Amino acid sequence: MSAPKVTALLEGSPAAAAGLEVGDELLSLNGAQPRDVIEYRQLVDAARVEVVVRRPGSAVDRRLRVVKDAGQPLGIEVSAAVFDRVRTCDNHCAFCFIYQLPKGMRRSLYLKDDDYRLSFLYGNFTTLTRFTELDAERVITERLGPLFVSIHATDPDVRAAMLRNPRGATSLRWLRVLLDAGIEVHGQVVVCPGVNDGAVLEDTMVGIVDEYPELASVGVVPLGLSRFSKEPDMRPHSSAEAARVLDTIHRHQDLCASLLGRRLVFASDEYYLMAGRPFPEAEAYEGYPQHENGIGMVRAFEAAFGGDAGAAHGVRPGFFAWVDGAPPAGYRSPRAEPTAPRTPGAPVAVLTGTFGAEVLGPLLGELGDAVRVVPVENHYFGGTIGVAGLLTASDVARVLAGEPEGHRYLLPDACLSKGTFLDGGTQSDLPRPVEVVATDGRSLRRAIEGTS
Protein backbone atom coordinates (compact mmCIF):
# COMPACT_ATOMS: atom_id res chain seq x y z
CA MET A 1 0.00 0.00 0.00
CA SER A 2 1.43 3.38 -1.01
CA ALA A 3 1.20 6.41 1.23
CA PRO A 4 -0.70 9.50 0.07
CA LYS A 5 1.57 12.33 -1.01
CA VAL A 6 0.95 16.04 -0.46
CA THR A 7 0.57 17.65 -3.90
CA ALA A 8 -0.66 21.11 -2.85
CA LEU A 9 -0.55 23.11 0.39
CA LEU A 10 -2.77 26.05 1.25
CA GLU A 11 -0.80 28.96 2.64
CA GLY A 12 -1.79 29.75 6.23
CA SER A 13 -3.61 26.43 6.66
CA PRO A 14 -3.31 24.21 9.77
CA ALA A 15 -1.09 21.83 7.77
CA ALA A 16 1.24 24.65 6.75
CA ALA A 17 1.43 25.92 10.33
CA ALA A 18 2.38 22.41 11.49
CA GLY A 19 5.25 22.25 9.01
CA LEU A 20 3.91 19.97 6.27
CA GLU A 21 5.37 20.53 2.82
CA VAL A 22 4.50 19.62 -0.76
CA GLY A 23 6.07 16.24 -1.52
CA ASP A 24 5.65 14.84 1.98
CA GLU A 25 4.36 11.27 2.16
CA LEU A 26 1.75 10.78 4.89
CA LEU A 27 2.82 7.50 6.49
CA SER A 28 0.19 7.58 9.23
CA LEU A 29 -2.56 9.77 10.64
CA ASN A 30 -3.24 9.39 14.37
CA GLY A 31 -1.48 6.04 14.20
CA ALA A 32 -3.51 4.67 11.28
CA GLN A 33 -2.56 4.21 7.63
CA PRO A 34 -5.56 5.13 5.46
CA ARG A 35 -6.49 2.85 2.56
CA ASP A 36 -8.20 5.58 0.59
CA VAL A 37 -9.27 9.20 0.68
CA ILE A 38 -12.49 8.19 2.43
CA GLU A 39 -10.59 6.94 5.49
CA TYR A 40 -8.18 9.85 5.12
CA ARG A 41 -11.02 12.35 5.51
CA GLN A 42 -12.31 10.57 8.59
CA LEU A 43 -8.87 10.58 10.20
CA VAL A 44 -8.13 14.25 9.52
CA ASP A 45 -11.53 15.35 10.81
CA ALA A 46 -10.27 15.38 14.41
CA ALA A 47 -9.15 18.56 16.20
CA ARG A 48 -5.65 17.13 16.72
CA VAL A 49 -3.99 15.08 14.01
CA GLU A 50 -0.61 13.48 14.60
CA VAL A 51 1.05 12.93 11.23
CA VAL A 52 4.12 10.84 10.48
CA VAL A 53 5.67 12.07 7.24
CA ARG A 54 8.52 10.97 5.02
CA ARG A 55 10.17 13.92 3.32
CA PRO A 56 12.04 13.52 0.02
CA GLY A 57 15.79 13.41 0.61
CA SER A 58 15.46 12.73 4.33
CA ALA A 59 16.39 9.41 5.92
CA VAL A 60 14.41 10.15 9.08
CA ASP A 61 10.62 10.16 9.28
CA ARG A 62 9.12 13.20 10.99
CA ARG A 63 6.26 13.38 13.47
CA LEU A 64 4.16 16.53 13.19
CA ARG A 65 1.09 17.58 15.13
CA VAL A 66 -1.67 19.55 13.44
CA VAL A 67 -3.95 21.53 15.77
CA LYS A 68 -7.20 22.85 14.31
CA ASP A 69 -10.94 22.95 14.86
CA ALA A 70 -12.75 19.64 14.58
CA GLY A 71 -13.98 19.25 11.01
CA GLN A 72 -11.68 21.98 9.69
CA PRO A 73 -9.74 20.85 6.59
CA LEU A 74 -6.01 20.33 6.89
CA GLY A 75 -5.41 22.57 3.91
CA ILE A 76 -3.67 20.07 1.65
CA GLU A 77 -4.41 18.05 -1.44
CA VAL A 78 -3.27 14.45 -1.71
CA SER A 79 -2.06 12.53 -4.72
CA ALA A 80 -4.79 9.97 -5.27
CA ALA A 81 -8.21 8.74 -4.20
CA VAL A 82 -7.12 5.16 -3.47
CA PHE A 83 -3.87 4.44 -1.64
CA ASP A 84 -3.99 0.65 -1.75
CA ARG A 85 -4.55 -1.19 -5.00
CA VAL A 86 -7.58 -0.25 -7.10
CA ARG A 87 -9.89 -3.24 -7.39
CA THR A 88 -9.87 -4.10 -11.06
CA CYS A 89 -12.76 -5.52 -13.04
CA ASP A 90 -12.74 -9.20 -13.96
CA ASN A 91 -15.71 -8.95 -16.32
CA HIS A 92 -15.17 -9.05 -20.08
CA CYS A 93 -18.15 -7.15 -21.41
CA ALA A 94 -18.27 -6.94 -25.20
CA PHE A 95 -19.46 -3.33 -24.94
CA CYS A 96 -16.76 -2.20 -22.48
CA PHE A 97 -15.23 1.02 -23.75
CA ILE A 98 -11.83 0.29 -22.21
CA TYR A 99 -11.42 -2.61 -24.68
CA GLN A 100 -12.11 -0.14 -27.49
CA LEU A 101 -9.22 2.22 -26.78
CA PRO A 102 -6.47 2.66 -29.35
CA LYS A 103 -2.89 1.81 -28.47
CA GLY A 104 -0.48 4.46 -27.25
CA MET A 105 -2.66 6.29 -24.74
CA ARG A 106 -1.61 6.89 -21.12
CA ARG A 107 -1.36 3.62 -19.20
CA SER A 108 -3.82 4.77 -16.55
CA LEU A 109 -6.62 4.95 -19.12
CA TYR A 110 -6.47 1.19 -19.70
CA LEU A 111 -7.12 0.32 -16.04
CA LYS A 112 -10.58 -1.25 -15.80
CA ASP A 113 -11.94 -0.84 -12.29
CA ASP A 114 -14.83 -2.40 -10.42
CA ASP A 115 -14.19 -0.65 -7.11
CA TYR A 116 -17.11 0.46 -4.95
CA ARG A 117 -14.96 3.29 -3.54
CA LEU A 118 -14.60 4.83 -6.99
CA SER A 119 -18.34 4.42 -7.42
CA PHE A 120 -18.88 6.45 -4.26
CA LEU A 121 -16.26 9.08 -5.09
CA TYR A 122 -16.61 9.48 -8.85
CA GLY A 123 -19.91 7.95 -9.84
CA ASN A 124 -18.25 5.00 -11.60
CA PHE A 125 -20.65 2.13 -12.18
CA THR A 126 -19.77 -1.13 -10.47
CA THR A 127 -21.16 -4.56 -11.32
CA LEU A 128 -20.66 -5.83 -7.72
CA THR A 129 -19.05 -9.03 -9.05
CA ARG A 130 -16.03 -8.40 -6.80
CA PHE A 131 -18.04 -7.07 -3.87
CA THR A 132 -17.60 -8.91 -0.55
CA GLU A 133 -19.17 -9.12 2.89
CA LEU A 134 -16.45 -6.86 4.25
CA ASP A 135 -17.24 -4.33 1.55
CA ALA A 136 -20.93 -4.46 2.40
CA GLU A 137 -20.16 -4.01 6.10
CA ARG A 138 -18.04 -0.94 5.40
CA VAL A 139 -20.53 0.64 3.00
CA ILE A 140 -23.40 0.12 5.42
CA THR A 141 -21.48 1.16 8.55
CA GLU A 142 -19.96 4.27 6.99
CA ARG A 143 -23.07 5.06 4.90
CA LEU A 144 -21.09 5.29 1.67
CA GLY A 145 -23.75 6.45 -0.69
CA PRO A 146 -24.79 7.13 -3.29
CA LEU A 147 -23.37 4.13 -5.14
CA PHE A 148 -23.86 3.39 -8.84
CA VAL A 149 -24.54 -0.16 -10.01
CA SER A 150 -24.54 -1.61 -13.51
CA ILE A 151 -27.58 -3.87 -13.89
CA HIS A 152 -27.87 -4.40 -17.68
CA ALA A 153 -30.31 -7.28 -17.21
CA THR A 154 -32.16 -8.82 -14.27
CA ASP A 155 -32.27 -12.26 -15.89
CA PRO A 156 -29.26 -14.03 -14.28
CA ASP A 157 -28.26 -15.90 -17.42
CA VAL A 158 -28.45 -12.84 -19.65
CA ARG A 159 -26.49 -10.74 -17.17
CA ALA A 160 -23.77 -13.39 -16.76
CA ALA A 161 -23.48 -13.69 -20.54
CA MET A 162 -23.22 -9.92 -20.98
CA LEU A 163 -20.53 -9.62 -18.30
CA ARG A 164 -18.86 -12.82 -19.50
CA ASN A 165 -18.54 -13.70 -15.86
CA PRO A 166 -20.55 -16.41 -14.07
CA ARG A 167 -20.67 -14.22 -10.94
CA GLY A 168 -22.79 -11.80 -12.91
CA ALA A 169 -25.69 -14.19 -12.37
CA THR A 170 -25.56 -13.78 -8.58
CA SER A 171 -23.83 -10.48 -7.77
CA LEU A 172 -27.05 -8.45 -7.74
CA ARG A 173 -27.74 -10.08 -4.37
CA TRP A 174 -25.45 -7.36 -3.00
CA LEU A 175 -27.74 -4.75 -4.51
CA ARG A 176 -30.55 -6.19 -2.43
CA VAL A 177 -28.34 -6.07 0.69
CA LEU A 178 -27.46 -2.43 0.10
CA LEU A 179 -31.05 -1.39 -0.54
CA ASP A 180 -32.26 -3.25 2.55
CA ALA A 181 -29.74 -1.23 4.58
CA GLY A 182 -31.05 2.04 3.20
CA ILE A 183 -28.03 2.87 1.02
CA GLU A 184 -28.86 5.19 -1.87
CA VAL A 185 -28.13 3.35 -5.11
CA HIS A 186 -28.59 4.44 -8.72
CA GLY A 187 -28.72 1.79 -11.45
CA GLN A 188 -27.74 1.68 -15.08
CA VAL A 189 -28.73 -0.45 -18.05
CA VAL A 190 -26.43 -0.27 -21.08
CA VAL A 191 -28.54 -1.48 -23.99
CA CYS A 192 -26.86 -3.47 -26.74
CA PRO A 193 -29.04 -4.03 -29.84
CA GLY A 194 -29.96 -7.66 -30.31
CA VAL A 195 -28.65 -8.58 -26.85
CA ASN A 196 -30.63 -6.94 -24.05
CA ASP A 197 -33.16 -4.78 -25.87
CA GLY A 198 -36.66 -5.83 -26.93
CA ALA A 199 -38.17 -8.53 -24.73
CA VAL A 200 -35.08 -8.66 -22.51
CA LEU A 201 -35.35 -4.93 -21.76
CA GLU A 202 -39.05 -5.35 -20.98
CA ASP A 203 -38.18 -8.19 -18.61
CA THR A 204 -35.42 -6.09 -17.00
CA MET A 205 -37.77 -3.16 -16.39
CA VAL A 206 -40.32 -5.48 -14.77
CA GLY A 207 -37.56 -7.12 -12.73
CA ILE A 208 -36.33 -3.77 -11.45
CA VAL A 209 -39.79 -2.71 -10.29
CA ASP A 210 -40.44 -6.12 -8.76
CA GLU A 211 -37.06 -6.77 -7.11
CA TYR A 212 -35.38 -3.37 -6.61
CA PRO A 213 -38.09 -0.69 -6.31
CA GLU A 214 -36.02 1.17 -3.69
CA LEU A 215 -33.45 2.19 -6.32
CA ALA A 216 -33.11 5.97 -6.42
CA SER A 217 -33.10 5.97 -10.22
CA VAL A 218 -32.23 3.81 -13.23
CA GLY A 219 -30.62 5.21 -16.35
CA VAL A 220 -31.01 3.44 -19.68
CA VAL A 221 -28.17 4.34 -22.05
CA PRO A 222 -26.96 3.09 -25.45
CA LEU A 223 -23.63 1.34 -25.79
CA GLY A 224 -20.77 3.50 -27.01
CA LEU A 225 -18.81 2.08 -29.93
CA SER A 226 -15.42 3.32 -31.05
CA ARG A 227 -13.83 2.36 -34.37
CA PHE A 228 -11.50 0.06 -32.42
CA SER A 229 -14.22 -2.36 -31.26
CA LYS A 230 -13.41 -5.95 -32.20
CA GLU A 231 -16.78 -7.38 -31.17
CA PRO A 232 -18.81 -8.44 -34.25
CA ASP A 233 -22.07 -8.61 -32.30
CA MET A 234 -21.82 -5.02 -31.07
CA ARG A 235 -23.41 -2.47 -33.38
CA PRO A 236 -25.09 0.94 -33.12
CA HIS A 237 -28.82 1.33 -32.64
CA SER A 238 -30.92 2.11 -35.66
CA SER A 239 -33.37 4.98 -35.37
CA ALA A 240 -36.25 2.50 -35.12
CA GLU A 241 -34.50 0.54 -32.36
CA ALA A 242 -33.87 3.73 -30.42
CA ALA A 243 -37.56 4.61 -30.75
CA ARG A 244 -38.57 1.18 -29.41
CA VAL A 245 -36.29 1.64 -26.41
CA LEU A 246 -37.98 4.97 -25.69
CA ASP A 247 -41.40 3.39 -26.00
CA THR A 248 -40.42 0.74 -23.46
CA ILE A 249 -39.01 3.31 -21.02
CA HIS A 250 -42.05 5.57 -21.29
CA ARG A 251 -44.43 2.67 -20.64
CA HIS A 252 -42.51 1.69 -17.54
CA GLN A 253 -42.26 5.28 -16.37
CA ASP A 254 -46.06 5.36 -16.34
CA LEU A 255 -46.16 2.03 -14.50
CA CYS A 256 -43.64 3.20 -11.90
CA ALA A 257 -45.47 6.48 -11.45
CA SER A 258 -48.67 4.62 -10.64
CA LEU A 259 -47.04 2.00 -8.39
CA LEU A 260 -44.23 3.97 -6.74
CA GLY A 261 -45.26 7.57 -7.16
CA ARG A 262 -42.16 8.37 -9.26
CA ARG A 263 -40.88 7.53 -12.72
CA LEU A 264 -37.74 5.67 -11.50
CA VAL A 265 -36.37 4.87 -15.00
CA PHE A 266 -35.05 7.42 -17.47
CA ALA A 267 -33.67 7.24 -21.00
CA SER A 268 -30.42 8.83 -22.11
CA ASP A 269 -30.60 12.05 -24.09
CA GLU A 270 -28.81 10.20 -26.89
CA TYR A 271 -31.87 8.04 -27.47
CA TYR A 272 -34.02 11.07 -28.24
CA LEU A 273 -31.40 12.34 -30.68
CA MET A 274 -31.10 8.94 -32.37
CA ALA A 275 -34.86 8.51 -32.61
CA GLY A 276 -35.45 12.09 -33.76
CA ARG A 277 -37.90 12.69 -30.92
CA PRO A 278 -38.31 15.77 -28.73
CA PHE A 279 -36.87 15.66 -25.23
CA PRO A 280 -39.25 15.37 -22.28
CA GLU A 281 -40.00 18.53 -20.34
CA ALA A 282 -37.64 19.37 -17.47
CA GLU A 283 -40.04 18.24 -14.74
CA ALA A 284 -40.16 14.75 -16.27
CA TYR A 285 -36.59 14.19 -15.03
CA GLU A 286 -37.65 14.58 -11.38
CA GLY A 287 -34.64 16.57 -10.25
CA TYR A 288 -32.12 15.08 -12.71
CA PRO A 289 -30.87 12.17 -10.54
CA GLN A 290 -28.78 10.83 -13.46
CA HIS A 291 -27.71 14.14 -14.92
CA GLU A 292 -24.01 13.19 -14.94
CA ASN A 293 -24.93 10.05 -16.89
CA GLY A 294 -26.21 12.14 -19.79
CA ILE A 295 -29.88 11.91 -18.80
CA GLY A 296 -31.79 15.17 -18.76
CA MET A 297 -28.62 17.08 -19.49
CA VAL A 298 -30.17 18.89 -22.46
CA ARG A 299 -33.14 20.23 -20.53
CA ALA A 300 -30.92 21.18 -17.58
CA PHE A 301 -28.51 22.95 -19.93
CA GLU A 302 -31.35 24.87 -21.57
CA ALA A 303 -32.73 25.93 -18.20
CA ALA A 304 -29.35 27.08 -16.92
CA PHE A 305 -28.61 28.87 -20.19
CA GLY A 306 -31.91 30.69 -19.80
CA GLY A 307 -31.02 31.91 -16.32
CA ASP A 308 -32.42 29.22 -13.99
CA ALA A 309 -29.80 29.24 -11.20
CA GLY A 310 -31.27 26.08 -9.68
CA ALA A 311 -30.83 23.92 -12.77
CA ALA A 312 -28.47 20.95 -12.67
CA HIS A 313 -25.09 21.70 -14.18
CA GLY A 314 -21.75 20.19 -15.06
CA VAL A 315 -20.85 16.92 -16.69
CA ARG A 316 -18.90 13.88 -15.57
CA PRO A 317 -16.53 12.74 -18.32
CA GLY A 318 -17.63 9.13 -18.26
CA PHE A 319 -15.18 6.27 -18.06
CA PHE A 320 -12.16 8.48 -17.32
CA ALA A 321 -13.54 10.61 -14.50
CA TRP A 322 -11.17 9.30 -11.85
CA VAL A 323 -7.87 8.81 -13.64
CA ASP A 324 -4.78 11.01 -13.64
CA GLY A 325 -5.62 14.62 -12.86
CA ALA A 326 -9.10 14.08 -11.46
CA PRO A 327 -9.48 15.50 -7.95
CA PRO A 328 -9.27 12.94 -5.12
CA ALA A 329 -12.35 14.58 -3.62
CA GLY A 330 -14.46 13.06 -6.40
CA TYR A 331 -16.16 13.99 -9.63
CA ARG A 332 -18.28 16.63 -7.91
CA SER A 333 -15.12 18.73 -7.51
CA PRO A 334 -14.00 21.17 -10.23
CA ARG A 335 -11.92 19.47 -12.92
CA ALA A 336 -10.33 22.50 -14.51
CA GLU A 337 -9.92 26.19 -13.85
CA PRO A 338 -12.01 28.02 -16.47
CA THR A 339 -9.95 30.47 -18.50
CA ALA A 340 -11.38 33.54 -20.08
CA PRO A 341 -9.11 35.75 -22.20
CA ARG A 342 -11.25 38.52 -23.58
CA THR A 343 -11.40 39.85 -27.13
CA PRO A 344 -14.21 42.43 -26.92
CA GLY A 345 -16.53 42.38 -29.89
CA ALA A 346 -14.97 39.31 -31.52
CA PRO A 347 -17.28 36.65 -32.97
CA VAL A 348 -17.78 33.68 -30.65
CA ALA A 349 -17.48 30.03 -31.67
CA VAL A 350 -18.47 27.23 -29.30
CA LEU A 351 -16.56 23.98 -29.81
CA THR A 352 -18.39 20.79 -28.87
CA GLY A 353 -18.98 17.19 -29.89
CA THR A 354 -21.43 16.26 -32.61
CA PHE A 355 -24.14 15.36 -30.08
CA GLY A 356 -23.75 18.68 -28.33
CA ALA A 357 -23.86 20.54 -31.62
CA GLU A 358 -27.34 19.16 -32.34
CA VAL A 359 -28.53 20.70 -29.09
CA LEU A 360 -26.54 23.93 -29.05
CA GLY A 361 -27.28 24.86 -32.66
CA PRO A 362 -30.92 25.86 -32.11
CA LEU A 363 -30.18 27.27 -28.65
CA LEU A 364 -27.39 29.59 -29.76
CA GLY A 365 -29.15 30.45 -33.00
CA GLU A 366 -31.39 32.75 -30.97
CA LEU A 367 -28.36 34.94 -30.16
CA GLY A 368 -27.72 35.95 -33.75
CA ASP A 369 -24.83 35.61 -36.17
CA ALA A 370 -22.15 36.67 -33.67
CA VAL A 371 -22.31 33.25 -31.96
CA ARG A 372 -21.95 29.95 -33.79
CA VAL A 373 -21.43 26.28 -32.99
CA VAL A 374 -18.39 24.44 -34.31
CA PRO A 375 -18.99 20.67 -34.17
CA VAL A 376 -15.87 18.56 -33.64
CA GLU A 377 -16.24 15.12 -35.19
CA ASN A 378 -14.40 12.52 -33.13
CA HIS A 379 -11.94 10.96 -35.57
CA TYR A 380 -9.74 9.76 -32.73
CA PHE A 381 -12.30 7.30 -31.33
CA GLY A 382 -14.64 7.24 -34.32
CA GLY A 383 -17.68 4.99 -34.25
CA THR A 384 -20.67 6.45 -32.43
CA ILE A 385 -18.64 8.68 -30.10
CA GLY A 386 -20.02 12.22 -30.18
CA VAL A 387 -19.93 13.51 -26.59
CA ALA A 388 -17.87 16.54 -25.56
CA GLY A 389 -16.20 14.67 -22.70
CA LEU A 390 -14.28 12.45 -25.15
CA LEU A 391 -12.92 15.15 -27.42
CA THR A 392 -9.16 14.99 -27.95
CA ALA A 393 -6.51 17.60 -28.71
CA SER A 394 -5.87 16.10 -32.16
CA ASP A 395 -9.50 16.46 -33.22
CA VAL A 396 -9.92 19.94 -31.73
CA ALA A 397 -6.67 21.05 -33.40
CA ARG A 398 -7.79 19.63 -36.75
CA VAL A 399 -11.02 21.62 -36.66
CA LEU A 400 -9.45 24.82 -35.30
CA ALA A 401 -6.83 24.80 -38.06
CA GLY A 402 -9.62 25.55 -40.54
CA GLU A 403 -11.17 28.30 -38.44
CA PRO A 404 -10.38 32.03 -38.78
CA GLU A 405 -8.01 33.82 -36.45
CA GLY A 406 -9.23 36.53 -34.10
CA HIS A 407 -12.42 34.78 -33.03
CA ARG A 408 -13.14 33.66 -29.48
CA TYR A 409 -13.21 29.85 -29.24
CA LEU A 410 -14.98 28.38 -26.21
CA LEU A 411 -14.09 24.82 -25.17
CA PRO A 412 -15.99 22.73 -22.55
CA ASP A 413 -13.88 21.76 -19.54
CA ALA A 414 -15.34 18.22 -19.66
CA CYS A 415 -12.73 17.20 -22.22
CA LEU A 416 -9.81 18.30 -20.03
CA SER A 417 -8.29 17.00 -16.83
CA LYS A 418 -5.99 19.65 -15.36
CA GLY A 419 -5.34 21.03 -18.81
CA THR A 420 -4.71 17.67 -20.52
CA PHE A 421 -6.84 15.95 -23.16
CA LEU A 422 -7.32 12.17 -23.28
CA ASP A 423 -4.72 11.85 -26.04
CA GLY A 424 -2.15 13.68 -23.91
CA GLY A 425 -2.36 16.97 -25.79
CA THR A 426 -2.77 20.34 -24.08
CA GLN A 427 -4.16 23.75 -24.95
CA SER A 428 -0.69 24.80 -26.11
CA ASP A 429 -0.93 22.18 -28.89
CA LEU A 430 -3.95 23.91 -30.44
CA PRO A 431 -3.50 26.26 -33.40
CA ARG A 432 -5.87 28.87 -31.92
CA PRO A 433 -6.21 30.10 -28.33
CA VAL A 434 -9.26 28.68 -26.58
CA GLU A 435 -11.23 29.71 -23.52
CA VAL A 436 -12.05 26.81 -21.21
CA VAL A 437 -15.62 27.09 -19.92
CA ALA A 438 -17.42 24.96 -17.35
CA THR A 439 -19.79 22.53 -19.08
CA ASP A 440 -23.11 24.01 -18.06
CA GLY A 441 -25.57 26.43 -19.59
CA ARG A 442 -25.10 29.25 -17.13
CA SER A 443 -21.30 29.29 -17.53
CA LEU A 444 -21.58 29.22 -21.31
CA ARG A 445 -24.06 32.09 -21.31
CA ARG A 446 -21.81 34.18 -19.06
CA ALA A 447 -18.75 33.40 -21.17
CA ILE A 448 -20.52 34.42 -24.35
CA GLU A 449 -21.66 37.66 -22.73
CA GLY A 450 -18.19 38.28 -21.29
CA THR A 451 -19.42 38.35 -17.68
CA SER A 452 -17.31 35.47 -16.31
Residue 106's pLDDT band, with cuts at 50, 70 and 90, is confident
Residue 317's pLDDT band, with cuts at 50, 70 and 90, is very low
Has residue 425 got a pLDDT over 50?
yes
For CATH 2.30.42.10, the residue range(s) in the chain are: 6-78
Look up the CATH architecture of domain 98-278.
Alpha-Beta Horseshoe (3.80)
Backbone angles phi, psi at 222, to 5 degrees: -80, 155
Burial 433-451 (b: 16+ CB within 10 A, else e): ebbbbbbbbbbbbbbbeee
pLDDT, tens only, 35-57: 999 999 999 999 999 999 999 98
Has residue 111 got a pLDDT over 60?
yes
pLDDT, tens only, 331-366: 445 555 555 555 667 899 999 999 999 989 888 887
End-to-end, the C-alpha distance of the chain in Å comes to 43
Has residue 177 got a pLDDT over 90?
yes
Helix axes 297-305, 441-449, angle to 10 degrees: 40
Least confident among 94-103, 262-271, 359-368 = 359-368
Q: What is the CATH number of domain 348-449?
A: 3.40.50
For CATH 3.80.30, the residue range(s) in the chain are: 98-278
Which residues are CB-neighbours of 377 under 8 A, at least 6 positions away? 354, 386, 395, 399
Has residue 132 got a pLDDT over 90?
yes
Q: What is the CATH number of domain 6-78?
A: 2.30.42.10
Helix or strand holding residue 220 (H, E) = strand 217-222
Spatial distance between the Cα atoms of 85 and 88, rounded to a whole number of angstroms: 9
> What torsion, rounded to 10 degrees, do the Cα atoms 309, 409, 421, 318 define?
30
For CATH 3.40.50, the residue range(s) in the chain are: 348-449
Least confident among 194-198, 299-303, 329-333, 424-428 = 329-333
pTM of the model: 0.90
Has residue 397 got a pLDDT over 70?
yes
* 293 contacts 283 by C-beta, under 8 angstroms: no
Looking at residue 438, its pLDDT comes to 86
